């Protein structure tokens, strides 16, 4: 009797879950093992890892303080004019979260997939492809936090935080990192060569520049403003700015939900893609 | 090999490993398997010890257990002095031994090896064979693929010859040679221009099989020297001659019509 | 019988046996001719790979112009631009974007392909086995980098003109000025990059070198806004000289003395780079 069995069309939810998540009783526990491996690996080059946190700080001083001196005040959330550097800082905090997650969800994942063949080794153990995806995204989120926390500290030291709601900025930054990392890993599984990374640059630079980081959305003509609202970084910037400056509102929950859904979609795609690439 | 390792779904037929179905129980089965892949998928930037630690953690083993097994395994593959060195600068043979040690971290019931000594120098190969033989003696089941006939003849209790995904023959090495080949083979070389004519003439001299390959003729016989004398008596003088015992490569040639490494 | 060897008349005879004729060695061209050959090799490679970088070369500076020049500019102009010399912010920033792009092109092309020439695709090592000397390999590569800077800058100058951001006829000198600036960076950076054994220092150069340079050299705000103790540091950087020069050219506020200082500074930096590079290349490739 012959039958054709594939991972892609499971006969039951159980076999799908066990194929996706591996054998651990708690799905995702093995993802922590992958994160552990990355931590061990990067421990040697911690300076390279941390030095990436510096770039948004440079922008804070250059554009925030330097150009801020030319601008004076800007209309912030709640219609209140704030000094420019107070306006820009939460935007750059969101950028820190983005930067931290970006490298480890794109370039490094591609390197591990194609050159180091790390996932081939991992998938020969009980770890499943969904857990590999979760582990990579988890590590990128950790790195995003590694960049966001020092930035937040600098913001506090410069007196740019005016509200206790700013404490929620850290989970907010983690959410931004999650969305970016998940979409990043998912897209990276579709790339075929280093040339394709041109697209990563072509997406991340406009995202960084145009998502309301440096100036309010009111600067744009209405048509463009509507398009920018779809940018996950813009939603993240709004969440962080409103929290740090003390204007929490229910709409922030909707924005957070957008980021969460984006992240979950990326996670699902990434897991299936890794399975398709390596388990056939 | 990937199907056996429960990383590729079976394309046809039924497969049961350790009593489980690879699609449903894949992860659980993998927990009891050890895999030595064809390319070393080691973590080049970590040290030898860290590679074993990280891999063991993927199986959910606790650190103390991994540490004990690491010492044992590094001793088994003779890498104890290099335990804290980075993997990247190690030689090919050492990396392969590390891969074998890594595959044993979870004390597997079955060890799957995909061409374990390809690309190694002769000394390294012998060290690996020795370790695999000892594993066999300890009761671990080894499933091995190889192109090297000497490796198959030395290590295998049961041999399966595969051609294009189908089993062509099965048995112990000695049985296969006895069944599909003669005890000895006479290899002859002639100048390229007279090769064809000489081959026609020689074929009539013997009732056993004969093959003409790109660079030499293979004449199968029970006694190679005796056949060589008859060839000479027929007035043919070869440029090169060599009498040897049959090997599994001759078996493969007989079964599939192709040389093993083409 | 004594043996006679003579390279001059190209024959050697050594006892019994036929005489062996040794051909005379070919003459090696001097000057930059061999460098041009190396340059042509880079051109052939570029013909295959140009598509992968064309979009970021053209769109990158355009994005910065849009976001900083116009977006940020709308906020600055609202407040008054006396500190900028009375020009709209976008006119102030555009020449800086041109120069920053030239610097980034120069630095990244002088680091990664140079390191790769020794460690990744190893073209330097391959070229070394030919009649090219290390200095030729170095200069040929610099010529190619200069070409890429020229192409990128030409694109952006056209964009500036199209957006009406050029206020003076002096702007024809923008292209050579940005190539000079790029060359002034490429020469010493390549000289340094060829000595590297690992690639980590290159990341540091970008993060701690070109990014702060880009942000603090009078690009987005005048140097006069910097605290007093930082100003001399800014004036010493080659990027500031390039920015000041190109800003003067595009807005028509050229002062002969200041321009001479800027040009002179860049020329000196390029010359020092060239001198240093021929030494480091020699030591790295021949020793």
Q: What is the per-residue pLDDT for A25?
A: 46
Partner-chain contact C52 A198, CB within 8 Å: yes
Query: Measuring CA to CA, which residue among A131, A67, A139, A76 is closest to residue A109?
Result: A139
For chain B, list the domains and their CATH numbers: 31-157 (3.40.50.300), 182-245 (3.30.2130.30)
Does the beta-carbon distance from A29 to B60 stay under 8 Å?
yes
Using CA atoms, how far residue C253 sits from C170, C247, C258, in Å, is 9, 8, 11
Cα distances from B48 to residues A33, B60, B77, B80, B125, in angstroms, run 18, 19, 12, 9, 20
pLDDT of residue B196: 84
Distance, in angstroms, between B16 CA and closest chain A CA? 13
| pLDDT > 80? residue C50 | yes
Dist. CA B103–CA B55, nearest whole Å:
9
Candidates B58, B61, B105, B143: best to mutate against A (most CBs of A within 10 A) is B58
The reply to whether residue C207 touches residue A52, judged by beta carbons under 8 angstroms, is: yes
Nearest chain A residue to B31 by CA distance is A126
The shortest C-alpha distance from B12 to chain A (Å) reads 5
Q: Which residue has the higher pLDDT, B248 or A222?
A: A222
| Mean pLDDT along residues A34-46 | 90
pLDDT at B64: 94
At A211 the pLDDT is 93
Give the dihedral of Cα atoms C74, C76, C77, C79; nearest 10 deg.
130
In degrees and rounded to multiples of 5, residue C6 shows phi and psi of: -145, 115
Q: How confident is the model at residue A195 (pLDDT cuts 50, 70, 90)?
A: confident
Q: For residue range C220-245, what is the model confidence (pLDDT) as tens digits? A: 999 988 888 889 999 999 999 999 99
Model confidence at A9, pLDDT cuts 50, 70, 90, reads: very low
pLDDT of the residue at C8: 46
Q: Do A19 and B26 touch (CB under 8 A)?
A: yes
Strand B184-189 versus strand B210-212 pairing type: unpaired
Inter-chain CB proximity C221 and A69 less than 8 Å: yes
Distances (CA, A) of A11 to A7, A18, A126, B21, B23: 9, 12, 20, 13, 10
Question: Per-residue pLDDT for B206 more than 70?
Answer: yes
DSSP C23: P
Do the Cβ atoms of C76 and A48 come within 8 Å?
no
Each domain of chain C, given as residue ranges in start order, spans 31-286
Of B12, B24, B58, nearest to A33 by CB-CB distance is B58
Nearest-by-Cβ selection for A69 from C63, C204, C225: C225
Shortest distance between the Cα of C184 and any Cα of chain A, in A, equals: 24
Q: Please indicate if any CB of chain A lies within 8 Å of the CB of C53.
A: yes
Three-state DSSP class for residue B36: strand
- Judged by CB atoms closer than 8 Å, whether chains meet at A67 and C72 is answered as yes
CA distance A121 to chain B (A): 6
Checking if the pLDDT of B1 tops 90, the result is no
3-state secondary structure of B220: strand
Please, are residues A130 and A42 in contact by the beta-carbon 8 Å criterion?
no
Chain A neighbors of B41, CB-CB under 8 A: 116-118, 120-121, 124
Q: CB pairs below 8 Å between A and B: how many?
A: 103
Nearest to A22 among B27, B33, B39 (CB): B27
Whether the per-residue pLDDT at A28 is higher than 80: the answer is no
- Are chains B and A in contact at 3+ CB pairs closer than 8 Å? yes
Q: Report whether pLDDT(A4) > 60.
A: no
For the record, the structure tokens of C118 come out as 């020794």
d(CA A232, CA B164): 51
Q: Which residue spans within chain B are E strands per DSSP?
A: 33-36, 110-114, 141-145, 159-163, 166-171, 184-189, 210-212, 217-221, 240-245
Q: Does C contact B via 3+ CB–CB distances below 8 Å?
A: no
CA distance A80 to chain C (A): 16
Cβ separation of A15 and B42 shorter than 8 Å? no
Per-residue DSSP letter, A211: S
Measure the CA–CA gap between B164 and B36, rounded to whole angstroms. 23
Check if C72 contacts A (Cβ < 8 Å).
Answer: yes
Q: How far apart are the first and last CA of chain A?
A: 22
Asked if pLDDT for residue C219 goes beyond 90, the answer is: yes
CA distance C65 to C80: 19
- The backbone torsions φ and ψ at residue A74, rounded to the nearest 5 degrees and listed phi first, read -135, 150
- Is B37 within 8 Å of A124 when comparing Cβ atoms? yes
- Tokens 């060890």 identify what position? B111
For residue B234, give the DSSP letter.
Answer: T
Query: Residue A119: its pLDDT value, please?
Result: 92
Q: Which helix (H) or strand (E) holds C135?
A: helix C134-162
Q: What's phi and psi for A83, nearest 5 deg?
A: -60, 145
Please indicate whether, in this complex, the C-beta atoms of A215 and C83 are within 8 angstroms of each other. Answer: no
ipTM above 0.90, yes or no: no
Tell me the pLDDT tens digit for each residue of A210-258: 999 999 998 999 999 999 999 999 999 999 999 999 999 999 999 999 9
Task: Indicate yes or no: CB of B23 within 8 angstroms of CB of A23.
Answer: no
Q: Which residues of B touch A21 (CB under 8 A)?
A: 27
CA dist B134 and B122 (Å) reads 19
Average pLDDT over residues C94-109: 95
Cβ C71–A67 below 8 Å, yes or no?
Answer: no
Residue B262 has pLDDT above 50, yes or no: no
Task: Report pTM.
Answer: 0.83
Residue B30 predicted with pLDDT over 50: yes
Kindly indicate the confidence band of residue B66, based on its pLDDT and cuts at 50, 70 and 90. Answer: very high
Would you call C59 and A202 a contact, using CB atoms and an 8 Å cutoff? yes
pLDDT at A269 over 60: yes
Q: Give, as one character, the DSSP assignment of residue A279.
A: -
Write out the H or E segment, with its range, that includes residue B251: helix B248-256
Tokens of A199: 């697209």
Spatial distance between the Cα atoms of A267 and A179, rounded to a whole number of angstroms:
9
Is C15's pLDDT higher than 80? no
Report the pLDDT averaged over residues B146-158. 86
Instruction: Give the ranges where chain A is alpha helix by DSSP (H).
Output: 13-21, 29-42, 46-51, 54-59, 68-71, 84-105, 107-114, 118-123, 129-157, 169-188, 197-210, 222-228, 232-244, 251-278
Which residue, B97, B127, B126, B124, is CA-closest to B113? B97
Is there a contact between C76 and A70 if contact means CB atoms under 8 Å apart? yes
**Burial class of residue B122 (count of CB atoms within 10 Å of its CB; 0-12, 13-18, 19+):** exposed
Q: Given the structure tokens 């891999």, which residue do they identify?
A: B55
Name every chain B residue with its beta carbon within 8 A of the beta carbon of A116.
41, 43-44
A neighbour chains, 3+ CB pairs within 8 Å: B, C
Reported as a pLDDT band with limits 50, 70 and 90, residue A44 is confident
Q: What's the rounded mean pLDDT across residues C7-36?
A: 71
Give residue B249's pLDDT band: very low, low, confident or very high (50, 70, 90): confident
Please say whether the dihedral angle defined by the alpha carbons of residues A259, A263, A266 and A272, taken in this order, is positive or negative. negative
Query: Which of A52, A71, A205 minimises the CB distance to C76?
Result: A71
The reported pLDDT for the residue numbered C163 is 94
Q: What letter would DSSP give residue C22?
A: P
What is the per-residue pLDDT across A88-99, written as a single tens digit (0 to 9) for each?
A: 999 999 999 999
Element (H, E) at C150: helix C134-162
Nearest CA in chain A to C224: A66
Helical axes C51-64 vs A197-210, angle rounded to 10°: 10
CB B199 within 8 A of CB B231: no
**Using only C-alpha atoms, what is the Rg of chain A?**
20
The size of chain B, in residues, is 262
Asked if residue B50 has pLDDT above 60, the reply is yes
| Mean of per-residue pLDDT scores for chain A | 87
- Best CA proximity match to A146, nearest among A225, A276, A48, A7: A48
pLDDT surpassing 60 at residue C6: no
- Say yes or no for a CB contact (<8 Å) between B23 and A19: yes
Q: What is the structure's pLDDT at C18?
A: 67
What pLDDT digit, counting tens, does each position of A73-122 carry? Answer: 998 888 889 999 999 999 999 999 999 999 899 999 999 998 888 999 99
Question: In this prediction, what percent of chain C has a pLDDT beyond 70?
Answer: 93
pLDDT value of position B142: 94
DSSP code per residue over A86-151 = HHHHHHHHHHHHHHHHHHHHTHHHHHHHHTS-HHHHHHTTTB-HHHHHHHHHHHHHHHHHHHHHHH
* Average pLDDT over every residue of A134-147: 95
- What pLDDT band is residue C16 in, cutting at 50, 70 and 90? low
Helix (H) or strand (E) holding B197: helix B195-203
pLDDT at B165 over 90: no
Beta pairing partners, B144: B113
Helices and strands: H and E segment counts in chain B: 10, 9
Q: In this predicted model, what pLDDT tens digit does every residue of C257-273 receive, in sequence order?
A: 999 999 999 999 999 99
Considering only CB atoms, which chain A residues are within 8 Å of B53? 40
């Amino acid at each position: 009797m012959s039958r054709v069995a594939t991972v892609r069309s499971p006969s039951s939810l159980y076999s799908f879950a066990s194929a996706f998540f591996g054998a651990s009783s708690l799905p995702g526990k093995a993802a922590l093992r992958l994160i552990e491996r990355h931590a061990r690996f990067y421990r040697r080059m911690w300076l390279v890892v941390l030095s990436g946190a510096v770039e948004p700080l440079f922008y804070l001083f250059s554009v925030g303080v330097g150009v801020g001196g030319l601008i004076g005040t800007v209309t912030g959330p709640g219609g209140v004019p704030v000094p420019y550097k107070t306006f820009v800082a939460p935007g750059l905090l969101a950028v820190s979260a983005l930067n931290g997650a970006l490298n480890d969800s794109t370039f490094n994942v591609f390197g591990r997939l194609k050159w180091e063949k790390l996932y081939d080794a991992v998938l020969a153990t009980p770890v499943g492809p969904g857990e590999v995806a979760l582990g990579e995204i988890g590590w990128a989120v950790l790195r995003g936090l590694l960049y966001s926390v020092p930035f937040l500290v600098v913001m506090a030291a410069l007196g740019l935080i005016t509200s206790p709601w700013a404490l929620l900025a850290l989970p907010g930054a983690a959410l931004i990192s999650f969305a970016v990392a998940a979409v990043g890993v998912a897209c990276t599984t579709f790339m075929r060569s280093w040339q394709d990374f041109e697209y990563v640059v072509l997406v991340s630079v406009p995202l960084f520049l145009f998502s309301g980081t440096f100036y309010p959305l009111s600067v744009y003509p209405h048509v463009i403003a509507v398009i920018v609202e779809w940018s996950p970084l813009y939603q993240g910037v709004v969440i962080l700015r409103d929290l740090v400056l003390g204007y929490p509102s229910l709409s922030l929950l909707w924005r957070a939900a957008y980021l969460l859904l984006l992240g979950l979609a990326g996670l699902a795609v990434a897991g299936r893609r890794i399975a398709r690439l390596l388990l056939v | 090999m990937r199907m056996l390792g429960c990383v590729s779904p079976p394309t046809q037929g039924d497969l049961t490993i350790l009593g489980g179905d690879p699609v449903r129980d894949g992860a659980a089965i993998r927990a009891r398997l050890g895999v030595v892949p064809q390319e070393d998928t080691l973590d080049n930037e970590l040290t030898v010890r860290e590679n074993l630690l990280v891999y063991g953690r993927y199986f959910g083993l606790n650190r103390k257990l991994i540490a004990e097994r690491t010492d044992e395994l590094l001793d088994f593959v003779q890498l104890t002095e290099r335990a804290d060195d980075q993997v990247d600068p190690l030689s090919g043979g050492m990396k392969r031994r590390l891969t074998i040690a890594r595959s044993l971290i979870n004390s597997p019931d079955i060890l799957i090896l995909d061409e374990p000594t390809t690309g190694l120098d002769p000394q390294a190969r012998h060290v690996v064979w020795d370790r695999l033989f000892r594993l066999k003696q300890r009761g671990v089941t080894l499933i091995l693929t190889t192109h090297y006939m000497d490796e198959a003849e030395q290590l295998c209790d049961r041999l399966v010859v595969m051609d294009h995904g189908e089993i062509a023959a099965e048995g112990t090495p000695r049985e296969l040679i006895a069944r599909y080949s003669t005890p000895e083979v006479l290899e002859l070389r002639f100048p390229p221009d007279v090769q064809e004519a000489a081959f026609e003439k020689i074929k009539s001299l013997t009732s056993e099989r004969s093959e003409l390959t790109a660079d030499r003729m293979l004449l199968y016989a029970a006694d190679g020297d005796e056949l060589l004398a008859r060839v000479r008596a027929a007035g043919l003088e070869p440029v090169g001659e060599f009498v040897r015992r049959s090997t599994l490569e001759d078996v493969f040639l007989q079964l599939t019509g192709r040389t093993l490494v083409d | 019988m004594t043996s006679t060897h003579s390279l001059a008349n190209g024959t050697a005879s050594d006892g019994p046996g036929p005489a062996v004729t040794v051909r005379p060695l070919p003459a090696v061209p001097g000057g930059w001719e061999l460098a041009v050959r190396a340059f042509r090799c880079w051109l052939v490679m570029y013909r295959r790979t140009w598509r992968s970088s064309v979009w970021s070369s053209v769109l990158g500076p355009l994005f910065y112009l849009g976001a900083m020049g116009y977006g940020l500019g709308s906020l600055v102009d609202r407040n008054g631009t006396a500190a900028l010399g009375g020009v709209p912010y976008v006119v102030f920033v555009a020449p800086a974007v041109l120069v920053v792009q030239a610097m980034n092109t120069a630095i990244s092309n002088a680091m990664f392909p140079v390191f790769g020439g020794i460690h990744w695709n190893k073209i330097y090592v391959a070229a070394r086995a030919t009649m090219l000397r290390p200095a030729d390999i170095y200069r040929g590569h610099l010529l190619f980098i200069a070409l890429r800077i020229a192409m990128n800058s030409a694109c952006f100058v056209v964009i500036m003109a199209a957006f009406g951001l050029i206020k003076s006829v002096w702007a024809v000198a923008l292209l050579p000025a940005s190539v000079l600036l790029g060359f002034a960076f490429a020469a010493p950076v390549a000289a340094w990059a060829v000595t590297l054994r690992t690639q980590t220092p290159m990341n540091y150069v970008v993060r701690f070198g070109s990014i702060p340079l880009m942000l603090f050299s009078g690009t987005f705000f005048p140097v006069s806004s910097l605290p007093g103790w930082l100003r001399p540091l800014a004036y010493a950087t080659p990027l500031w000289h390039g920015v000041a020069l190109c800003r003067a050219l595009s807005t028509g506020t050229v002062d002969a003395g200041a321009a001479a200082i800027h040009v002179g500074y860049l020329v000196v930096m390029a010359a020092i780079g060239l001198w240093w590079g021929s030494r480091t290349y020699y030591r790295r490739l021949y020793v």
